[in-house]
């Protein structure tokens, strides 16, 4: 039997959550669907394929104060930022939940990032399985699926009379206390997603194709707008700056991209990635080579946002296929 939450019961449950916690959910804003705090179930968008931006901003805000320092009466007062309110993130797709779990690698490895850890601890993830994946989605190729429960606390899957409920963690079980669940013999459907992207073995293929002129030719198309990094659920490059106003200093962390000119500049002004080709290669090497070597999973979840957003139609699915082919050619020549 399947646990089911009827649509009216879902509304009541979400209303009860809003009384005690911050509820963040997909909301239509003009022609976009964005994760934002909501105060009414009527604000929540249910009929969407995926949000325009990933929910990583809830855990890694585009601009975030890390701490403040105040000079007062000859004393120095250091105040780190803390996360106090409990948040429920409703409607996250399995691919985006996987993206957050992937970022646990760099952010929770020793020494852990305090703010990331606090955001993770204070947030409960209610997943919403994909009913109809978008054409650009390829999560199945990257080791996940439209109904993956691995990285959420609760997964809801739409069925005829409401939503099938899978309780994944103790945190999810606690949140569901008081919800009016019923038993049903309904079996949720499992939608199909593009499984044709040849991701298996890509780490070795990228190594072999590292010096291939392909990267420079691809970079000739790229205008380095960085939109791919900003919509991506797993890009986490940042810049840190200190701002002073009166006797107060704030340390601010902001989103950046490894494709930005000067991002890799070091002391003395030397930039090991001064040309466009090396910077574009860095983006894909990080996702497909460096990240899996350091943390395990590939640094791509197959959400397809970069495919949709790129103004010059650079497609990571095509790049993976091209690099597999070029890496194989290099391997044949070396044998």
Q: What is the pLDDT along the chain (335 residues), one digit of tens a residue?
A: 789 999 999 999 999 999 999 999 999 999 999 999 999 999 999 999 999 999 999 999 999 999 999 988 778 899 999 999 999 999 999 999 999 999 999 999 999 999 999 999 999 999 999 988 999 999 999 999 999 999 999 999 999 889 999 999 999 999 999 899 988 878 888 788 889 999 999 999 999 999 999 999 999 999 989 999 999 999 999 999 999 987 899 999 999 999 988 888 888 888 888 888 999 999 999 999 999 999 999 999 999 999 999 999 999 999 999 999 988 776 455 54
Residues 179 and 216 in one domain: no
Residue 3's alpha-carbon distances to 93, 156, 172, 315, in angstroms, are 20, 10, 14, 39
- Considering the domain boundaries, does residue 278 fall inside one? yes
* Residue 161 three-state SS: coil
Residues 175 and 229 in one domain: no
Residues 172 and 268 in one domain: no
Residues 175 and 313 in one domain: no
How many folded domains does the chain comprise? 2
- Considering the domain boundaries, does residue 294 fall inside one? yes
Q: Which residue has the tokens 């070597």?
A: 293
- Considering the domain boundaries, does residue 89 fall inside one? yes
The pTM (predicted TM-score) of the whole model is 0.92
Provide the residue range defining the domain that includes 115: 2-64+79-184
Residues 180 and 233 in one domain: no
Residues 84 and 9 in one domain: yes
Burial per residue of 89-105, b for 16 or more beta-carbon CB atoms within 10 angstroms, e otherwise: bbbbbbbbbbbbbbbbb
């Amino acid at each position: 039997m399947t646990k089911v939450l009827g649509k009216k019961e879902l509304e009541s449950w979400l209303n009860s959550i809003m009384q005690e916690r911050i509820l963040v959910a997909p909301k239509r804003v003009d022609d976009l669907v964005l994760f934002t705090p909501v105060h009414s179930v009527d604000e929540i968008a249910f009929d969407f394929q995926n949000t325009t931006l990933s929910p990583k901003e809830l855990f890694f805000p585009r601009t975030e104060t890390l701490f403040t320092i105040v000079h007062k009466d000859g004393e120095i007062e250091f105040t780190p930022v803390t996360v106090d309110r409990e948040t429920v993130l409703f409607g996250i797709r399995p691919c985006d939940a996987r993206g957050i779990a992937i970022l646990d690698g760099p952010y929770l490895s020793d020494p852990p990032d305090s703010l990331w850890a606090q955001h993770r601890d204070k947030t409960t993830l209610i997943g919403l399985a994909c009913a109809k994946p978008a054409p650009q989605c390829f999560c199945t190729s990257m080791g996940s699926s439209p109904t993956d429960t691995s990285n959420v606390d609760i997964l809801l899957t739409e069925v005829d009379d409401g939503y099938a409920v899978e309780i994944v963690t103790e945190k999810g079980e606690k949140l569901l206390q008081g919800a009016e669940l019923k038993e049903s013999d309904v079996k949720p459907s499992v939608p199909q997603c593009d499984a044709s992207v040849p991701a298996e073995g890509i780490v070795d293929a990228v190594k072999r194709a590292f010096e291939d002129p392909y990267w420079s030719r691809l970079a000739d198309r790229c205008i380095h707008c960085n939109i791919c990094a900003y919509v991506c659920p797993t890009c986490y490059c940042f810049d840190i700056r200190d701002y002073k106003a009166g006797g107060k200093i704030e340390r601010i962390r902001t989103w950046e991209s490894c494709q930005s000119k000067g991002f890799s500049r070091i002391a003395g002004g030397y930039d090991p990635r001064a040309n466009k080709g090396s910077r574009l290669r860095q983006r894909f090497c990080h996702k497909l080579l460096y990240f899996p070597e350091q943390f395990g999973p590939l640094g791509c979840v197959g959400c397809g946002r970069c495919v949709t957003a790129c103004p010059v139609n650079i497609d990571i699915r095509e790049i993976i296929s091209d690099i597999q082919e070029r890496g194989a050619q290099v391997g044949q020549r070396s044998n």
